Amino acid sequence: MTLERPDPATVFDEVTSWKVRSRSDCHVEYQCELLSYSGNGACDCPDFTMRFAKLLGQGITPEQALERKLVDNRPGYRRSDALRCWHLVNAFTEFEHHLITVFTNVKKKTGFEARD
Which residues sit at the interface with Zn ion, rule CB under 5 A?
Answer: 30, 43, 45, 48, 85, 87
What minimum distance in Å lies between the beta carbon of 52 and Zn ion? 9
Q: Which long-range contacts (CB under 8 A, 24 or more apart) does 68-72 make?
A: none
What minimum distance in Å lies between the beta carbon of 110 and Zn ion? 37
What minimum distance in Å lies between the beta carbon of 87 and Zn ion? 3
Which of 28, 109 has the CB closer to Zn ion? 28
Contact (Cβ atoms closer than 8 angstroms) between residue 30 and residue 43: yes
Contact (Cβ atoms closer than 8 angstroms) between residue 44 and residue 33: no
Those residues whose C-beta lies under 8 Å from the C-beta of residue 69, and which sit 6 or more positions away, are: none
What minimum distance in Å lies between the beta carbon of 4 and Zn ion? 34
Q: Which long-range contacts (CB under 8 A, 24 or more apart) does 105-108 make?
A: 106/3
Which of 37, 48 has the CB closer to Zn ion? 48
Which of 20, 60 has the CB closer to Zn ion? 20
Which of 6, 57 has the CB closer to Zn ion? 57
